[in-house]
Amino acid sequence: MPTGKSLVLLALLWAALPAAAASPPSDPAPVTVTDFRGRTLTFPRPVSRIVCLIESALSGLYMLGAEDRVVGVSANVYQEPVFPYYARLDGRIAARTLPAPGNWDFISVERVLALKPEVVILWAQQTEAIAALESRGVPVFGVFLATLAEVAGEMRELGRLTGTEARAAELLDWTGQELARISRRLTGLRPEERPRVYFMWAQSPLETSGGTSTVQDLIELAGGRNLFAHLPREHLRVKQEELLAANPEVIIMWHNPRLKPVDILALPAWQGLAAVQTRRVHELPPVFLCDLWTLKYVHAVKLAAAWLHPRRFADLDLAAEEKRMLQVLYRGRLGGP
């Protein structure tokens, strides 16, 4: 049977459903949401003017069908590789007319205020921008996602915020079913059958994630063991000698336009690694297709599971799975099987 953390993650995701499933009343009613700072925000009705400066949260709003509420987006939306996808989802983005007053790194408070938002969605760590906006009476929904269960929680809150609770419940239900499909294929997996996995971020071959992270959850759900799970940090840099000593059996790379699996396989110092010797170095597709901070993480789990346990997933058509995911999450607006 699935073990430990996998069962906990599935339970947490499914636990989000009851709160999200309630049908909205026929007449507008006050809306209350709680952000990831623990702040409670109350609005007289579902919000109709949102400035969303986090691309992953914006993706969630499009999944919910709430894009007509969006009046400002992250500047990252107009950059590759995500721009072509959003251009297909929204004619305003295709025409580059939807304002982009900032992103996770820089925010023009004045440009945000000019859009007259009812709420602004920001990373919770952007404390100076949050303080500037709140001091001017603009509510801020702060986001910080450290686990996949929190991704589900964000979708539930965004559903409440926009009056799309039923759609949020539908999305969470589908995600739970997809995770259950993966879990069933891993039934009976013994601890020693879980490969040692090293996850590599694009910043550097030595940038990885430890425990209490979306990466940790990804590896666990895919039937692997995160080599640095004992380090409770979402993002960290390890020493090369630590990696060599840990000796991963599989290396999973975040999408990296500058570095490919073939480059990792050629690193002289890494030739002794089991993953290199067996050529089990894999790269995730571009971020839009497997964003770990959106429900699209389910596709990353499928890919990782197929890489870690090729015999158990030999019949899974990953290209078809990707198309089906886009069909479900975006209601066919990005194509499908």
158 and 80 in a common domain? yes
20 and 72 in a common domain? yes
Could you give the number of structural domains in the chain? 2
Give the 3-state secondary structure of residue 18: helix
Residue 179 lies in a domain: no
**CA–CA gap between residue 234 and residue 208 (Å, rounded):** 8
Q: Encoding tokens for residue 131?
A: 């303080």
Number of other residues whose CB lies within 10 A of the CB of residue 203: 11
204 and 168 in a common domain? no
**CA–CA gap between residue 73 and residue 99 (Å, rounded):** 6
Strand partners, 143: 123
CA 289 vs. chain centroid, Å, equals: 10
**Burial (Cβ within 10 Å: 0-12, 13-18, ≥19) of residue 47:** buried
pLDDT in tens, the chain (337 residues): 344 455 445 544 544 444 444 444 456 689 999 999 999 999 999 999 999 999 999 999 999 999 999 999 999 999 999 999 999 999 999 999 999 999 888 899 999 999 999 999 999 999 999 999 999 999 999 999 999 999 999 999 999 999 999 999 999 999 999 999 999 999 999 999 999 999 999 999 999 999 999 999 999 999 999 999 999 888 999 999 999 999 999 999 999 999 999 999 999 999 999 999 999 999 999 999 999 999 999 999 999 999 999 999 999 999 999 999 999 999 998 854 3
131 and 23 in a common domain? yes
CATH number where 306 lies: 3.40.50.1980
CA 291 vs. chain centroid, Å, equals: 4
204 and 103 in a common domain? no
The model carries a pTM of 0.90
